[in-house]
Chain A
Amino acid sequence: MKTSAVLVLPAVVILGAFFVVPLIWVVILSFLSSGPTGEVQQTFTLGNYARFLTDSYYVNDLLLRTIRLAAIATLFSVVIGYLGAFVIARAAPTTQTWLILLVMLPLWVNLVVRTLSLMVVLGRNGLVNQILVGLGISARPLPLLYNETAVLIGMVQVAVPFVVMSVFGVLQAIPRQLEQAAMTVGATPLSAFRRVTLPLSVPGILAGSVLAFGINVESFVVPILLGGGRVRFMSVAAYETATVSNNLPFAATIGVILLIVTMVMLGVYQWAVRSAGRPVAAVQAA
């Protein structure tokens, strides 16, 4: 064997043993049934999938809710993240370094800590409620925590820095002269942005949205803490089915369905990149 292959081997072996084999096992397990005391029975069945897909609780309250909230959070993350990236890209170089540091800071802070910080802000006596009541906008504190809105806010907060970094990279690469050229031939700043900068930043928007959706759809800490057990998510359901209900095959089924959602989303992304890629390349070449 070549020496270079030997160097790759340890990583491949570790990943094979602790990732590929377990993953294959999860897929197999999702087609097995679970006995009354939680033991796995070695008989092939489609029962787990049938149970999931015929129960409106699993389909609507779990799968579709996860996808819906992840999609809404992605939309907000992309809009907010784009604005942030745009502001940073237009800042002076020294300011830029600081702003990027500030955007990246949350990524380094523990997710449990970040989610806890939102609990403090959104709680019954939290800052948001104090402001709402203090200004007389609301007569009494609103229930901002332990519901879908809280989970959405949490997911947006988690995903925004990733969107900023994706979009910022692309915005940096767009020559400012293009926008200026549009304005010299009579475009207003707004239409120059809309017709030049925005279309050119589509690859960054796509990359940011796929990252944001991927992070949101597998959310675990955020729905647990900000949803307070009321907002059920696929990841949480898989965890509870495996550890609390001790039904390993059904937990595997939930995991595989989540995996399929992720893969479909990645496929759509690949397709979007291919179809969006050409016009951008054409403009850049021109």
Chain B
Amino acid sequence: MQRTLVGSTLWYVGTVLFFAFLLAPLAILIAVSFNPVAMVFPPQGFTLKWYVTILDKPDFLYAAWASTILGVATALLSTGLGVLAAIGLQRQRGAARAFASSLLMSPLFIPAVIVALALFQIIFMMGLVNNIYTLLAAHVVVTLPYPLRNVMAQMEGFDVRLEEAALSVGATPRQALWRVTLPLLKASIIPSLIIVFVLSWNNYTVSVFLANKNWTTLPLQLRAYLQYEYEPFVAAMSTVLIVASVILLVIVDRTVGLGAVRRRN
């Protein structure tokens, strides 16, 4: 495109405005976390005291622990189920395959609040108590489409003959799965694990229906705290979460590349 001076100035102003709209609020929140006084930007000083405060909040530490356990469990379970299902679906044809794959993808198209409401009501009706397992089940259900789609996408270029070759030289089907198929699928399994962990770690809508006092996750704890406290502590807590997200994002980018992750949308 031909660029006049006015045109290219507009171009850069537009680009800066676009990224400012997306990222400036986060940058401001980080800056506010160093403000000794109040949740106001620009900060009227510099302090790290709010970060130290985090260590004095057992509720937050416990919620962070709960979120991590839940995230890891969801990642393993959801990715495991997704990988198995993708491998199985690959070998099927016709109506059964179409039915199973659209069933497994359907949580993507159903509002999360309805999935949560449905589980909440079933649990209520059956007189069960919300616990880590119901929370885990809900997180697995809403995240399952992501690993399934990632692995299925990678399987499209997958050469089934590699597996057949392993079988022909005497490998059992299980050995072929562990030593040939799964290693070849690593490029979609690892990003899937991370995506599911992040989705679970960040989930609010599903968790709020199914969490209880013993299993409060980090987003729930943060939101609960925001209801009656509005001080730079929440900004500091948020900054820790932002930094953790950036680190995960960079790890994924450096190891498997964001191309693998981008398919999730």
Q: Which residues of A contact B (CB under 8 A)?
A: 2-12, 14-15, 17-23, 25-26, 29, 40, 80, 83-84, 87, 90, 97, 99-106, 108-114, 116-118, 120-121, 123, 125-127, 130, 157, 160-162, 165-166, 169, 179, 189, 193, 211, 214, 217-218, 220-221, 224-225, 234-235, 238-239, 242-243, 248, 251-252, 255-256, 258-259, 262-263, 266
Contact = CB atoms under 8 A, between A and B. Distances in A.
A25 B120 CA distance: 11
Chain B facing A: main interface SS:
helix
B75 interface: no
A77 B245 CA distance: 23
A111 B200 CA distance: 12
B21 A157 contact: yes
Interface residues of B, number: 83
B189 interface: no
Interface in B95-140: 96, 100, 103-104, 106-107, 109-115, 117-122, 124-125, 137-138, 140
Contact of A14 (B81, B121, B125, B173): B81
Contacts of B153: none
A110 B173 contact: no
Given A127-B28, A157-B25, A239-B113, A8 B125 contact: no
Contact of A165 (B141, B144, B223, B262): B262
9 contacts: A4-B92, A10-B84, A14-B141, A19-B115, A25-B121, A118-B25, A121-B24, A121-B25, A242-B117
Interface in B196-228: 198, 201-202, 204-205, 208-209, 218-219, 222-223, 226
A105 B244 CA distance: 11
B11 interface: yes
B85 A8 contact: yes
B209 A239 contact: yes
B249 A262 contact: no
Contacts of B241: 109-110, 113
Contacts of B209: 239, 242-243
B91 interface: yes
Contacts of A248: 121, 124
A26 B141 contact: no
B122 A21 contact: yes
Interface string B21-40: 11111101100100000011
B148 interface: yes
Contacts of A221: 204-205, 223
Contacts of B22: 84, 102-103, 105-106, 157, 160-161
Contacts of A80: 18, 21
A123 to B, nearest CB: 8
B200 to A, nearest CB: 11
A33 B215 CA distance: 31
Contacts of B109: 214, 262-263, 266
A7 B219 contact: no
Contact of B88 (A7, A101, A120): A7
B258 A100 contact: yes
Max count, chain B CB within 10 A of own CB: residue among A7, A102, A220, A243: A7
